[in-house]
Amino acid sequence: MINYVDLHERLANVGQDHLLKFWYELNENEREQLIHDIEELDLNELKVYFDRATISLNQNALKLDDCLQPIPDQNLISISRTSDECLHGYREEGLKQISESHVAVLLMAGGQGTRLGFAYPKGMYNVGLQSNKTLFCLQAERILRLQKLTAEITGKTGIITWYIMTSEHTMKPTKDYFMANNYMGLKKENVIFFEQGSLPCFEFDGKIILDQKYRIARAPDGNGGIYRALKQWGILDDMKKRGVLYLHAHSVDNILTKVADPVFIGYCVQRNADCAAKVVEKSTPNEAVGVVAIVDDKYQVVEYSEISTKTAELRNVDGRLTFSAGNICNHFFTTEFLQKIGNTYEKELKLHVAKKKIPFVDNSGKRITPEKPNGIKIEKFVFDVFQFAENFVAMEVPRDEEFSALKNADSTGKDCPSTARADLHRLHKKYIEAAGGVVHGDQCEISPHLSYDGENLSTFVKGKSFTTPLHLSYPLASGKI
């Protein structure tokens, strides 16, 4: 057991000795828990974190108009304005890299389905498709189909390793779900789980909040915690051992995600990019979405609140919005770039701060849930590494084909299960009609085992007429890829 006097001295040196104020009221197990919480803190880093965080808080109100530039045309490709021949070349490059097992996927899956009224990891959510497949299942099956498609086209069977970042609270239910569902057909050794970190919650004066007499109040460190976690959990080393060169990283809650998209991978490889982002064209100037842009000669995501209405409404000569590259949390990294971030730049990442109502223990030891914000939570964002890229590019993708977020309950009518389900149905109907089929109605679902992004459908649908609800599927062949 750590000596109380030594522990008190260490905490007092950084102004956090209040964490021990209930020490003599705790039993042995509770003291061990409190010591564990304190030992997880980098005490020398705490003051730096708080000081940087409060600077960030004060800067949030600044407008960036005067130092803002759009992505240069030569660094932005639009799928809808690029020839099929060019896109085919990128796709071939991407499939080649997949066939060599050079491509991995990193899924940011730390979120819980609280806003959906769902008490489990969001990846386990079923939006109500006919197949009853969850987000995890859909994405796993897309990986399986892409591996099979790559083997058919290139003659080589490559492996797409799937790295899944959970949070402290979603790790166990996520792993249990994958085990119970036999990893959705993927090999267990190619699905790697790791956990994002957390940061303590602070009062406005910089003191760490006690959640209980023997527990420190903590919150997940945001999807930008991915970079520290990759290093701490040995994921960077695992990538090197497996020969992974490129990583496609995305959030779990986009039902239309093209997992390990070979066109995106191929484009980034051929452009020699070390970091890239998929974006969608903003629907309106005032759409509440961050935009990828250049600020003071560095790429970053600029939140809509950081741009004036006048700047948001600027348009090019062709009528398109000047700042139109809406961020959708869908990124490409080389593993070399990730090594550089983990070893050098991670500690320089911007800290994003939010004032929150954080439960705390008062001086009498009673746990209080405040009625107004009493402290701050600190997060890092995955896109804040853009500024460190030596060659950053972006790909504008059709929103109706690649982006439908699942964030809210159906009662909101936006970014909810109903809209996600409808968007997938609409896309799959489009695939069937492009392959020569006729569909009467709207409820169409195509199994990822059958088609990754509309390929392989002519044999099944050309010249045929279908009435919805329609679910196109067929059993997987035995064995695993």
What span, in angstroms and rounded, lies between the C-alpha atoms of 426 and 435? Answer: 14
Structure tokens that stand for 285 in this block: 């100037």
Residue 232 burial class via C-beta count within 10 angstroms: exposed 0-12, middle 13-18, buried 19 and up = middle
Residue 191 domain-assigned? yes
Looking at the structure, tell me whether residues 28 and 123 fall in a common domain: no
pLDDT at position 41 is 86
Residue 53 domain-assigned? no
The helix, strand and coil proportions of the chain, stated in percent and rounded to the nearest 5, come to 40, 20, 35
Looking at the structure, tell me whether residues 432 and 474 fall in a common domain: yes
Looking at the structure, tell me whether residues 90 and 113 fall in a common domain: yes
Residue 383 domain-assigned? yes
Residue 332 domain-assigned? yes
DSSP string covering 127-166: ---TT--BHHHHHHHHHHHHHHHHHHHHS-----EEEEEE
Residue 298 domain-assigned? yes
Residue 15 belongs to domain spanning: 1-43
Note if the bond before 469 is cis, omega within 30 degrees: yes
Looking at the structure, tell me whether residues 143 and 23 fall in a common domain: no
Residue in this structure with the two tokens 């982006």, named with its chain if needed: 403
Element (H, E) at 430: helix 417-434
Residues 6+ apart with CB under 8 A from 360: 209, 210, 211, 217, 367, 368, 370, 374, 375
Neighbours of 332 (CB within 10 A): 27
What span, in angstroms and rounded, lies between the C-alpha atoms of 408 and 253? Answer: 11
Report the predicted TM-score, pTM, of the whole model to 2 decimal places: 0.92
Instruction: Report which of 388, 380, 51, 400 is spatially closest to residue 197, judged by C-alpha positions.
Output: 380
CATH number of residue 444's parent domain: 2.10.10
CATH number of residue 164's parent domain: 3.90.550.10
Using CA of residue 457, residue 460, residue 466, residue 468, what is the dihedral sign?
negative
Residue 50 domain-assigned? no
Looking at the structure, tell me whether residues 420 and 291 fall in a common domain: no
Domain boundary among 386, 407, 428: 407
Per-residue confidence of the chain (481 residues) as pLDDT tens digits? 577 888 999 999 889 999 999 999 999 999 999 999 999 888 777 778 788 877 766 655 567 888 899 999 999 999 999 999 999 999 999 999 999 999 999 999 988 888 888 889 999 999 999 999 999 999 999 999 999 999 999 999 999 999 999 998 899 999 999 999 999 999 999 999 999 988 899 999 899 999 999 999 998 888 999 999 999 999 999 999 999 999 999 999 999 999 999 999 999 999 999 999 999 999 999 998 999 999 999 999 998 888 889 999 999 999 999 999 999 999 999 999 999 999 999 988 888 888 899 999 999 999 999 999 999 998 899 999 999 999 999 999 999 999 999 999 999 999 999 999 999 999 999 999 999 999 999 999 999 999 999 999 999 999 999 999 999 997 533 333 3
Question: pLDDT tens across 53-81, in order?
Answer: 777 666 555 678 888 999 999 999 999 99
Looking at the structure, tell me whether residues 298 and 420 fall in a common domain: no
Looking at the structure, tell me whether residues 446 and 308 fall in a common domain: no
CB contact at 8 A, 224 and 347: no
Looking at the structure, tell me whether residues 87 and 149 fall in a common domain: yes
Looking at the structure, tell me whether residues 366 and 423 fall in a common domain: no
Residue 379 domain-assigned? yes
What span, in angstroms and rounded, lies between the C-alpha atoms of 418 and 438? Answer: 24
What HEC string does 83-119 produce?
A: CHHHHHHHHHHHHHHHHCCCEEEEEECCCECHHHCCC
* The length of the chain, given as a count of residues: 481
Question: pLDDT tens across 155-196, in order?
Answer: 999 999 999 999 988 999 999 999 999 999 999 999 999 999
Residue 145 domain-assigned? yes
Structure tokens that stand for 184 in this block: 């959705």
Looking at the structure, tell me whether residues 402 and 418 fall in a common domain: no
Distance of CA 285 to the CA centre of its chain: 24
For the chain, the domain total comes to 3
Per-residue CA distances from 119 to 114, 116, 124, 134, 219 (Å): 6, 9, 10, 14, 17
Looking at the structure, tell me whether residues 318 and 236 fall in a common domain: yes
Provide the mean pLDDT of the chain.
93
What span, in angstroms and rounded, lies between the C-alpha atoms of 295 and 58? Answer: 18
What span, in angstroms and rounded, lies between the C-alpha atoms of 103 and 96? Answer: 10
Looking at the structure, tell me whether residues 252 and 370 fall in a common domain: yes
Neighbours of 374 (CB within 10 A): 18
Residue 318 burial class via C-beta count within 10 angstroms: exposed 0-12, middle 13-18, buried 19 and up = exposed
Q: Are strands 76-78 and 198-200 parallel, antiparallel or unpaired?
A: unpaired
What span, in angstroms and rounded, lies between the C-alpha atoms of 195 and 445? Answer: 33
